[in-house]
Homo-oligomer: A and B are copies of this chain.
Amino acid sequence: MTTRIKPDEQRKQQIRAAATRCFVRRGFAATRLLDIAREAGLSKGGVYFHYRAKEALFHDILEAQFTALQSRWDTELDADQPADRALRGLVLTHLQTLEHSPDEARFCNLMIAMASQNPEFRERLEQVLAGMRVRYAELLRRGATAGVFSAGDAEILARGIIALIYGIAAESAGDPQAALPMRAEQGADLAVRLARGPAA
């Protein structure tokens, strides 16, 4: 895949990775474009050519993460599989991105905190959450109809499953290496357990 990425996009990826490390270590306000350039091994101009402000960088990191998750969901999931397997797959894919990259978990937590400091980031988060809620609620309804999930308020359950995912990221903040408090598979099993509920 890497060979098909244009050099410009490759350079931007490099800058985003360096910026992510700076943001999660120092916070947003204390990070300067110069710090990001140093971390990326570039000149300040080399960063500035692609990103005029750290707000744009933060925004692009967010978008890159959301897009990557979305495309992993789209490629890995089969619309015909049973609702419980589909649910497990969605949650597992999300948790694996956090499990494989500690800085992605840390950035997720930073993004949540930044939402109360920056209205633009907050609105983008709201949109993403809304999209996830629709997707999970549909799946929960499909599972309830098929009898694999016990009936319940699909909207609230969807929010609970999303809370479980973001909360696993939050709990990783207690670990020096940002290790998740459980394996991604165990987290996905908990989501299915929550969806399944008491047997009818």
Contacts and interface: CB of A to CB of B under 8 A. Distances in A.
A94 to B, nearest CB: 12
B117 A27 contact: yes
Contact of A167 (B114, B128, B167, B193): B167
A178 to B, nearest CB: 7
Contacts of A181: 129, 159, 162-163
A175 interface: yes
Interface residues of A, number: 55
**Copies in the assembly, this chain:** 2
A158 B126 CA distance: 28
A167 B168 CA distance: 7
Q: Chain A binding site: helix, strand, loop or mixed by DSSP?
A: helix
Contacts of A168: 159-160, 163, 167
Of A125, A167, A176, A187, most buried by chain B (CB within 10 Å of CB) is A167
A164 interface: yes
Contact of A117 (B26, B182, B198): B26
A197 B186 contact: no
B173 A162 contact: no
A115 to B, nearest CB: 4
Interface string A132-153: 0000000000000000000011
Contacts of A176: 119, 122
Given A24-B116, A29-B29, A157-B190, A170 B178 contact: no
15 contacts: A26-B29, A115-B174, A128-B174, A157-B190, A160-B168, A160-B182, A162-B171, A163-B163, A163-B164, A163-B181, A166-B166, A193-B194, A193-B197, A196-B198, A197-B198
